[in-house]
């Protein structure tokens, strides 16, 4: 009987070790555009509840800066960009396989001013009246790139350029407006909707800038391809899309 109990204990310990090994925690690193912060944080929470063995680490920033990090070998499993050109560069560099990427979301560019502003800045054409205007650095921040393109097409960039304060990402632009360090800022609609300290006074017409598209894809050299692919698929589910839409993104998939 003692022999049976000992063998039974050994068997139980072995099974326990196997179970522990099978549920070993996997950590994924997701590099995503700063404008996705609120939506992705909510999706991360929902996903981790359903997949207890996966821990998601989020790295937010300007899409251009994130793309450069990945190009230089940063250990990232999935890239969620706010601009196609930054994403396509990684595809061209063979760091993302074309069939492991998809154009998932759309957005809009808006003009915001402090909530209690008494400035007469109602349209983009009014920006030359401002003392300071915040936009993301066009070379690395897609919202800044779209914003500059739009102002050029409206014919007001030259009269506004010397008043521009450049920011590292759209969230910094929003902060500058919220704290009234600038008279106005150009951000995504989704960012503007997260703040009660700013108000939207104008929305850019779609024909004034390149279409705003958010592609997402799995990094080819991911250390956890199976889990990365699973999260990539999860981002396309109805549950995830409901969250994106709630934060003001357009479903273009």
Asked whether residue 143 is marked as a ligand-binding residue, the answer is yes
For 155, counting Cβ atoms within 10 Å of its Cβ (0-12 exposed, 13-18 middle, 19+ buried), the class is: exposed
Q: Does 62 count as an annotated binding residue?
A: no
Establish whether 170 is an annotated binding residue: yes
Annotated binding site: 35, 63, 143, 170, 188
Which positions make up the binding site for molybdate? 35, 63, 143, 170, 188
């Amino acid at each position: 009987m003692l022999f049976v109990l000992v063998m039974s204990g050994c068997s139980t310990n072995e099974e326990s070790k196997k179970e522990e090994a099978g549920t070993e925690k996997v950590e994924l690193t997701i590099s995503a555009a700063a404008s996705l912060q609120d939506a992705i944080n909510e999706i991360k929470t929902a996903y981790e509840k359903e997949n207890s063995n996966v821990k998601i680490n989020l790295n937010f920033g300007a899409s251009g800066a994130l793309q450069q990090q990945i190009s230089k070998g940063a250990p990232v499993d999935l890239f969620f960009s706010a601009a196609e050109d930054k994403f396509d560069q990684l595809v061209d560099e063979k760091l993302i396989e074309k069939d492991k990427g998809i154009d998932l979301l759309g957005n809009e560019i808006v003009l915001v001013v402090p909530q209690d502003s008494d400035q007469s800045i109602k349209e983009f054409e009014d920006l030359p009246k401002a003392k300071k205007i915040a936009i993301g650095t066009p070379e690395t921040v897609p919202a800044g790139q779209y914003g500059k393109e739009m102002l050029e097409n409206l014919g007001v960039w030259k009269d506004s350029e010397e008043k521009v304060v450049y920011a590292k990402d759209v969230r910094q632009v929003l902060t500058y407006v919220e704290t009234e360090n600038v008279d106005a800022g150009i951000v995504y609609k989704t960012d503007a909707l997260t703040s009660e300290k700013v108000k939207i006074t104008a929305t850019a017409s779609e024909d004034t800038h390149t279409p705003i598209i958010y592609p997402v894809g799995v990094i080819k050299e991911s250390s956890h391809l199976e889990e990365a692919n699973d999260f990539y698929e999860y981002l396309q589910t109805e549950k995830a899309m409901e969250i994106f839409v709630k934060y003001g993104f357009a479903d273009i998939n």
